[in-house]
Amino acid sequence: MSHYKEVREDAMRMDHIYTSGKVVESLLSLHDISIPNEAELVVICGRIYVNTFSITDPELHQIGSGLYLGASIFDHSCEPMATASFQSTTIYIRNIVDYPANLPIQKVTISYQDTLKPSSYRISELSGIYYFICQCERCSSNAYNSSMRAVLCQNRKPVCNSEIQVDVDDCCPECKYSLDETQISKIKETEDMVRGKLHEMQDVVYLDVCETCLNIMKSVNFSDTHWLVTSMASQAFDSSIDMNKWENAYKYGQLTLKGYRKYLSKSHPLLGILLLKLAKLSWYLDKEVEAKSFVVEARKIIDITHGQNSPFSLTQVFTLYKEIMY
C-alpha cells in the first residue's frame, strides 16, 4: 500500500520527495535515465515510508534503515507477537509469545514503535508516520493508560502511598483523599515540561537535565511507573553509562526496570537488554546476588529475541553468563 492520498497531504514528506527527487534527477541525467513522474515518485516514496525498518545493533541502537519486502507483510500491534532483530543487514523475525502453529503468517504482529507511552500518544504517532489508526487490543481497551499517569496519594493523615489515577477519578482508592485543582494543574504542567525536555533530547541527552526532571516529578509524587519517569530514567541510565557513572547508572537502571516490567511483555527485547546491562553493572559493582539474577533472566529473554545461536548470544550474553555464574 502506497498511501498516496495521505502522503500527498503530508507537507513535510512532500517537501522531502521534492528535494530528494531533484537530487535523484541530477544523478540519473548523467546516465540518460529519466526520473519517474511526480505521481510515481509519491507512490514509490509512500511505500518506502511505511515499510522501512530501523536497523539496530544487538543492543537496539539504530544504525540505519532498510526496506525488507518479506518482512513488510507483518502488521503492527502494541502487544506484538514477534520482534525484529538484525545480524548486519539481515533481518530476523522471531516470536516472543506462543501462538498456534497453524496461525497464518499474515496474522503475526510486530511493533512499529515504542509502546511505553499511553495509547493516545501511540495512536497519534502511528497515524502520523504510518497513516493508520491503531485498533490493537491494548489501544482499544486503553490498557495501562491510568497507571501510566499515576501519582502517589499525598495524604499524610494517615500516611498513604496508594496510586491515584489522574483523569480517572482523581481520588485515592484507599483513603479517598482527593487531589485539588492546584495539584492536578501542577501534575499536568510537570508532564508538559518533561515531555518537552524529552523531545529536546532526541539527539543529545544531558544527565543533569534528566536528573532535574526526575527530581521534579518525585516532588510532585509521580509514581515510579509513570511513563514519563520510565522514559526519563531510561535516558539517565544510558547517559550515566556514557559518562562512566556506574552507581548512578545502576540506580536509574533499577528505576527504568520498574516501568519495563509493568508495561512490556516478559520476553520483550528492551527488557532483555536492560537486564543484561544491569547484570554487567551489578557484577562490576560487586553485587553478586543481583548480577546472577539479572544475567539468568537476560539470557532467557535474549535467546528468544536474538536467537540462541546468534553471535550476540554466544559471544556476549553466554560469555557474561559463564563469568558470573561459574
Q: How far apart are CA 153 and CA 170, in angstroms?
A: 10
Confidence (pTM)? 0.93
C-alpha cell at 247: 552507581
pLDDT at 39: 93
pLDDT at 1: 74
C-alpha cell at 143: 490498557
C-alpha cell at 81: 507477537
With a cut of 70, list the residues of the chain below it in pLDDT.
none
pLDDT at 23: 93
Burial class, 206, CB count within 10 angstroms (exposed 0-12 / middle 13-18 / buried 19+): middle
The 10s digit of each residue's pLDDT in 112-134 is 998 999 999 999 999 999 999 99
Q: How far apart are CA 105 and CA 99, in angstroms?
A: 11
Q: How far apart are CA 273 and CA 8, in angstroms?
A: 39
pLDDT at 120: 92
Positive or negative CA dihedral for 192, 198, 202, 204?
A: positive
- Helices and strands: H and E segment counts in the chain: 14, 8
Query: Can you tell me which residue has the cell 500516611?
Result: 159
Closest C-alpha to 317, from 273, 287, 282: 273
Q: How far apart are CA 121 and CA 117, in angstroms?
A: 6
Three-state DSSP class for 51?
helix
Q: How far apart are CA 149 and CA 163, in angstroms?
A: 10
pLDDT at 18: 94
pLDDT at 167: 76
Q: Do 292 and 324 touch, CB atoms closer than 8 A?
A: yes
Cβ neighbours of residue 146 closer than 8 Å, sequence gap 6 or more: 165, 166, 167, 168
Query: Is the bond leading into 158 cis (omega within 30 degrees of zero)?
Result: yes
